[in-house]
Chain A
Amino acid sequence: MTDFRFSLRKWLMGLLSPLDGPLALIVLAILGFSTVVMVSASPERLDTLAMNIGVAFVVMWTAARIPPQRMMSVALPLYVLGVLLLIGVALFGDVSKGARRWLNIGVARIQPSELMKIAMPLMLAWYFQSREGMLRVRDFFVAAALLLVPVGLIAKQPDLGTAILVAAAGFYVLFFAGLTWRLILPVALVGIVGIGAIVAMGDTICQPDVVWPGLRDYQKHRVCTLLDPTSDPLGKGFHIIQSTIAIGSGGVMGKGWGRGTQTHLDFLPERHTDFIFAVLTEEFGLAGALLLAVLYILLIFRGLFIAAGAPTLFSRLLAGALTLIFFTYAFVNMGMVSGILPVVGVPLPFVSYGGTALVTLCLGVGMLMSIQRHRRRVGT
């Protein structure tokens, strides 16, 4: 009997050993919170949610067992495949809701831009690793080019949300690889001043006959709706107005589980996907929002900790970039739902319903775990 118990325990330990304890616990906590919210927001989807979580965990577990060296070897092929698929989308993709994002490969429709979210940091981390010790300014330009090609293809679909995420993923690698502050600071400054100017001059530049260079009409519309949601209360502004009402009316402790009026009277659009955060805050209030924020902060800090202890340049860069991608997802989503960022279609990590995004995110977590688990074997 004791033998059996012992061997069961051993087997379990062996099964769990690839996972990083703290990371797994944090992700589980967020997924648990998500399930609680989903029971209220969309109970009919719980079955598929459970299945998605199951698949995502298998992916995470598998990724955690793959050593970083192996990841390095697939970085280039994965990146090339991603770019080819994106070109395929541009040429033969299916159009849905005015955007060409899907590629029909016979058995299923895939969205290659999703693959790029992982392939991009892998590729750039691999590139910098291969240039380790002889890094020149030139390499940053090469890296920037590697970054801009897929980002351009995704932005052209048009899918601004994913383009921003992929661009951010690549930028983080550059940042951690040592991109000079002299380049980062001016760009950041121009960005802040530019956004400030847009906010200040919102009324004049949002006139219908003003054309914004480089942006599609619907993108301009989103920014303008953000500046003044009441200008389009039946259309795009409806999302933001209703989600801010949901958040604001939640108060400190929320209206209670399953009792959000905005949610249950059908005022909240896309309440199980991009706008699930509004459901959470309406029903669990400021307390729920802060709890989720703390969980994300813990996730980010654990990720940064793993990056700090990573043995090779490749694993350092990858870990740092992956961690900041989680941060970007969370920040952009909560920002757009609470009305301080434009609506760009970024899901709330581990909370929004959607199998593809969840698998991508768990793949990222699994890679972080692998970096943590394999840190000693390489030896510093």
Chain B
Amino acid sequence: MTGIRTPEQELARFRNRLAVAGVVAVVCFALLAARFFYLQVVRYDYYSTRAEDNRISLVPVVPNRGLIMDRNGTVLARNYSAYTLEITPSKVADLDATIEALSKLVDIQPKDRRRLKKLMDESKSFESLPIRNRLSDEEVARFIAQRYRFPGVELKARLFRDYPMGNLGAHLVGYIGRINDRDLERIEENEDSANYRGTDHIGKAGLEKSYERELHGTTGFEEVEVDSGGRAVRALRRTNATPGNNLILTIDLKLQEVVEKAFGNRRGALVAIEPGSGGILALVSVPTFDPNLFVDGIGAQDWDELNNSPDHPLVNRALNGAYPPGSTFKPFLALAALMSGKRTPGQAIADPGFYDFGGHHFRDDKPGGHGMVDMYRSIVQSCDTYYYRLANDMGIDLIASLMGQFGFGSRTGIDIEGESSGVLPSPEWKRKRFKRPEQQKWFGGETISIGIGQGYNAYTPLQLAHATATLAAGGVMYKPHLVKYIESAKDGSRQVIEPQPVKTIPIKPEHLETIRRAMVGVNKEGTGARAFAGAPYLSAGKTGTAQVFSLKGGKYSAKINERLRDHALFIAFAPADKPTIALAVLVENGGFGAQSAAPIARAVMDYYLLGKLPAGMAAEDPGAEAPTGDGGGD
């Protein structure tokens, strides 16, 4: 680098450096050789003992899974310890004979055998698999006395997951199940394999799935000396497991119960949200199911019943059902009209009972019409003609962009997986949705039915509740969440999930007041008045009825097949001046919203604001909750 050199000097220096490289390479390899010599000659005895000697094995210590509790401490998911009888198929000469002999000692049902068969297909032969769970003390004693006869069969103390509330809140809690290949892949993707050594269950749905990381805990390990039969003799060294964290929910389980009871045998969903925080107070989807069925692998018969039921109990309607909002859409559209200046509150139309557009006759459900209708009356009396015309005046693009602001058509970001995004119709959406050009075109008439929450409109009950809560909070949108805080099982410290404002929609206070006043009017003198008669608090609401089946101009009657009847909807918040709860109810095929959905909302408000239980539940003991505790033993 110093000055210019002759090519000969350059070449000499290059060869010099080659020599240096050669020497470095040899030195490095000598270093490696020294390391090999150290490992293979000097420490040969040590390492060969470690390799040959199978006395010491590393046993994972599985952590206790965290509990799930509602906001008042009622336990929704817990663990208990029980004995299970396990077989390692590769260590058993004649599996059928062994099971036959075992069945003389403990009760083994055909369904236990079927489950073992299924598990064997899914796992490797050297894994130990349960043949019977939850043995009675007597069975444990009988087996221990005869244990010598059964090599490859082991009695293990295991923690089982238990959902003491059964059906109640099953969709939100979810369930755990045995780890399958897909779960394993995900675990490996997340580089969690070490932590899942020894764990054989994982969250499959609901909170159990989305908070798996918190609930699982950290696996400990133990170096164990084992005898020739493979049984642990003594522990040499132990690092304890760190138990999973507990989830404390924003859910009020009593409220959840009030709702599920209020639905009775009907199908539907309800989501109730605290408007000032996004905390979800109740998230109901009915019919529901018993998550306990899934923990040990669901039996074929139970599965068929749940999966093939026309009521679809496994579907979480609150998150995955997309329904036309019907007239519950109107307050939002009215607000959008105010925000965009397309309407003033006092601007009135004369309603003849129909609206003609492009040769099509759009009917109002009140024959003869509502007369002169301003914005207040349009909401209180749920006048369709007002909104047919409004939708036409606004145009689909403006509707889509303004309604999108309230969260319609996009995922709310709730903390359980699998939420649907619904459909906020627009010409752009239609272009993407359909393939053939003639289907992709947007027709003006389609805009008209959008105005009354029909047409392509489809939203989840969660979205509807979310939008209502945003309205109740004066335009501040919070991310809906089910977990209030995460409690460390180790030291009891709490990680509080703070309310997360997503955005603030710029709404003028006077516009907000117009809509709020009209929605209060609904419950005082309009379509919700009967359901809220005599309520000591001021509430705001809006009924909705969503068409499932077009009547083609015919008259609605109770004789129509139940499954083709309209869906009933209701949105509400209360107290109207300072809302602490906002909700959306949907009753599938419930007919008119005022008739079947609004009374459920009333029951929710009465309980939440006044502590008043409905007639059927009042007799039950209010204080005594299910016993808490994790069943101990790790």
Convert B335-378 into 0s and 1s, putting 1 for each residue whose CB lies closer than 8 angstroms to a CB of A.
00000000000000000000000000000000000000000000
Question: Pick the contact of B25 from A137, A175, A248, A300 — CB < 8 Å?
Answer: A300
- Chain B residues whose CB sits within 8 angstroms of the CB of A247 once the complex forms: 36, 39-40, 47
Inter-chain contact B51/A246, CB cutoff 8 Å: yes
- Chain B residues whose CB sits within 8 angstroms of the CB of A290 once the complex forms: 33, 36
Inter-chain contact A98/B191, CB cutoff 8 Å: yes
- Determine the main DSSP class of A at the interface with B: helix
Inter-chain contact B36/A251, CB cutoff 8 Å: no
- Chain A residues whose CB sits within 8 angstroms of the CB of B26 once the complex forms: 297
B391 to chain A, nearest CB (A): 41
Question: Pick the contact of B18 from A234, A307, A327 — CB < 8 Å?
Answer: A307
Question: Pick the contact of B48 from A98, A244, A249 — CB < 8 Å?
Answer: A249
Inter-chain contact A331/B22, CB cutoff 8 Å: no
Inter-chain contact A281/B18, CB cutoff 8 Å: no
- Chain B residues whose CB sits within 8 angstroms of the CB of A335 once the complex forms: 32, 35
Inter-chain contact B39/A252, CB cutoff 8 Å: no
Inter-chain contact B60/A304, CB cutoff 8 Å: no
Convert B26-51 into 0s and 1s, putting 1 for each residue whose CB lies closer than 8 angstroms to a CB of A.
10110111011101110110111011
Inter-chain contact A293/B21, CB cutoff 8 Å: no
Closest to A235 in B: B194
- Chain A residues whose CB sits within 8 angstroms of the CB of B44 once the complex forms: 248-249, 251-252
Q: Does A296 contact B (CB under 8 A)?
A: yes
Question: Pick the contact of B22 from A261, A285, A300 — CB < 8 Å?
Answer: A300
Closest to B239 in A: A233
Q: Does A178 contact B (CB under 8 A)?
A: yes
- CA A335 to CA B35, docked complex, whole Å: 9
- CA A162 to CA B267, docked complex, whole Å: 58
Inter-chain contact B29/A244, CB cutoff 8 Å: no
- CA A113 to CA B13, docked complex, whole Å: 32
Inter-chain contact B47/A297, CB cutoff 8 Å: no
Q: Does B300 contact A (CB under 8 A)?
A: no
Report if A249-B189 is in contact (Cβ < 8 Å); known contacts: A137-B1, A175-B17: no
Inter-chain contact B28/A251, CB cutoff 8 Å: no
Inter-chain contact B58/A234, CB cutoff 8 Å: yes
Q: Does B197 contact A (CB under 8 A)?
A: yes
Q: Does A112 contact B (CB under 8 A)?
A: no
A208 to chain B, nearest CB (A): 12
Q: Does B15 contact A (CB under 8 A)?
A: yes
Q: Does B626 contact A (CB under 8 A)?
A: no
- Chain B residues whose CB sits within 8 angstroms of the CB of A370 once the complex forms: none
Q: Does B14 contact A (CB under 8 A)?
A: yes
Report if A232-B194 is in contact (Cβ < 8 Å); known contacts: A244-B47, A296-B29, A327-B25: yes
Q: Does A97 contact B (CB under 8 A)?
A: yes
Q: Does A187 contact B (CB under 8 A)?
A: no
Q: Does B332 contact A (CB under 8 A)?
A: no
Inter-chain contact B32/A331, CB cutoff 8 Å: yes
- CA A37 to CA B58, docked complex, whole Å: 28
Closest to B28 in A: A331
- Chain B residues whose CB sits within 8 angstroms of the CB of A300 once the complex forms: 22, 25
Q: Specify which of A98, A248, A304, A320 lies most central, judged by the most chain B CB atoms within 10 Å of its CB.
A: A248
Convert B3-26 into 0s and 1s, putting 1 for each residue whose CB lies closer than 8 angstroms to a CB of A.
010000010011101100110011
Q: Does B456 contact A (CB under 8 A)?
A: no
A242 to chain B, nearest CB (A): 9
Q: Specify which of A137, A140, A307 lies most central, judged by the most chain B CB atoms within 10 Å of its CB.
A: A307
Inter-chain contact B33/A234, CB cutoff 8 Å: no
- CA A192 to CA B195, docked complex, whole Å: 35
- Chain B residues whose CB sits within 8 angstroms of the CB of A232 once the complex forms: 194
Convert B523-535 into 0s and 1s, putting 1 for each residue whose CB lies closer than 8 angstroms to a CB of A.
0000000000000
Q: Does B219 contact A (CB under 8 A)?
A: yes
Question: Pick the contact of B51 from A252, A261, A286, A307 — CB < 8 Å?
Answer: A261
Inter-chain contact A97/B39, CB cutoff 8 Å: no
Interface residues of A in 205-255 (CB under 8 A from B): 218, 232-236, 238, 244-252
Inter-chain contact A249/B50, CB cutoff 8 Å: yes
Q: How many residues of A contact B (CB 8 A)?
A: 57
- Chain A residues whose CB sits within 8 angstroms of the CB of B31 once the complex forms: 340
Question: Pick the contact of A308 from B15, B48, B189 — CB < 8 Å?
Answer: B15
Inter-chain contact A251/B48, CB cutoff 8 Å: yes
A283 to chain B, nearest CB (A): 12
Q: Does B621 contact A (CB under 8 A)?
A: no
Q: Does A262 contact B (CB under 8 A)?
A: yes
Report if A338-B35 is in contact (Cβ < 8 Å); known contacts: A248-B43, A304-B21, A327-B25: yes
Interface residues of A in 259-310 (CB under 8 A from B): 261-262, 281, 285-286, 289-290, 293, 296-297, 300-301, 304, 307-308
Inter-chain contact A334/B32, CB cutoff 8 Å: yes
Inter-chain contact B39/A338, CB cutoff 8 Å: yes
Question: Pick the contact of A180 from B1, B21, B22, B25 — CB < 8 Å?
Answer: B1
Interface residues of A in 108-147 (CB under 8 A from B): 133-135, 137, 140
- Chain A residues whose CB sits within 8 angstroms of the CB of B4 once the complex forms: 133-134
Interface residues of B in 151-199 (CB under 8 A from A): 188-189, 191, 193-195, 197
- CA A297 to CA B28, docked complex, whole Å: 11
Q: Does B83 contact A (CB under 8 A)?
A: no
B491 to chain A, nearest CB (A): 16
- Chain A residues whose CB sits within 8 angstroms of the CB of B17 once the complex forms: 175-176, 178, 320
Q: Does B221 contact A (CB under 8 A)?
A: yes
Closest to B44 in A: A251
Closest to A289 in B: B36
Q: Does A316 contact B (CB under 8 A)?
A: yes
Q: Does A38 contact B (CB under 8 A)?
A: no
Q: Does A324 contact B (CB under 8 A)?
A: yes
Inter-chain contact B197/A234, CB cutoff 8 Å: yes
Question: Pick the contact of A97 from B33, B51, B189 — CB < 8 Å?
Answer: B189
Inter-chain contact A135/B15, CB cutoff 8 Å: no
- CA A6 to CA B26, docked complex, whole Å: 44
Q: Does B52 contact A (CB under 8 A)?
A: yes
B284 to chain A, nearest CB (A): 37
Question: Pick the contact of B32 from A96, A245, A304, A338 — CB < 8 Å?
Answer: A338
- Chain B residues whose CB sits within 8 angstroms of the CB of A175 once the complex forms: 17, 21
Inter-chain contact A176/B41, CB cutoff 8 Å: no
Inter-chain contact B46/A248, CB cutoff 8 Å: yes
A259 to chain B, nearest CB (A): 12
Closest to A98 in B: B191
- CA A236 to CA B191, docked complex, whole Å: 10
Inter-chain contact B36/A338, CB cutoff 8 Å: yes
- CA A338 to CA B38, docked complex, whole Å: 10
Question: Pick the contact of A304 from B22, B33, B191 — CB < 8 Å?
Answer: B22
B196 to chain A, nearest CB (A): 10
Question: Pick the contact of B13 from A140, A178, A246, A252 — CB < 8 Å?
Answer: A178
Question: Pick the contact of A135 from B1, B33, B195 — CB < 8 Å?
Answer: B1
Report if A281-B40 is in contact (Cβ < 8 Å); known contacts: A176-B14, A234-B194, A248-B47: yes
Convert A314-354 into 0s and 1s, putting 1 for each residue whose CB lies closer than 8 angstroms to a CB of B.
00100010011001000100110011100000000000000
- Chain A residues whose CB sits within 8 angstroms of the CB of B50 once the complex forms: 245, 248-249
Inter-chain contact A233/B221, CB cutoff 8 Å: yes
Closest to A172 in B: B21
- Chain B residues whose CB sits within 8 angstroms of the CB of A235 once the complex forms: 193-195
- Can you pick out 27 interface pairs between chain A and chain B where the beta carbons lie within 8 Å of each other? A137-B1, A172-B21, A176-B14, A218-B191, A232-B194, A234-B197, A238-B194, A244-B39, A245-B47, A247-B36, A247-B39, A248-B40, A248-B44, A249-B50, A252-B44, A281-B40, A286-B41, A289-B33, A289-B40, A300-B25, A307-B14, A320-B14, A320-B17, A320-B18, A327-B25, A334-B32, A340-B35
Other A-B contacts than A233-B221, A251-B48, A261-B51, 17 sampled, CB-CB below 8 A, are A133-B4, A176-B18, A180-B1, A234-B197, A238-B194, A248-B44, A248-B46, A248-B50, A249-B52, A252-B44, A296-B29, A301-B22, A304-B22, A320-B18, A331-B25, A331-B32, A335-B32
Interface residues of B (CB under 8 A from A): 1, 4, 10, 13-15, 17-18, 21-22, 25-26, 28-29, 31-33, 35-37, 39-41, 43-44, 46-48, 50-52, 58, 60, 188-189, 191, 193-195, 197, 219, 221
What 7 pairs between A and B have smallest CB-CB spacing?
A248-B47, A235-B194, A249-B51, A248-B39, A234-B194, A249-B48, A249-B47
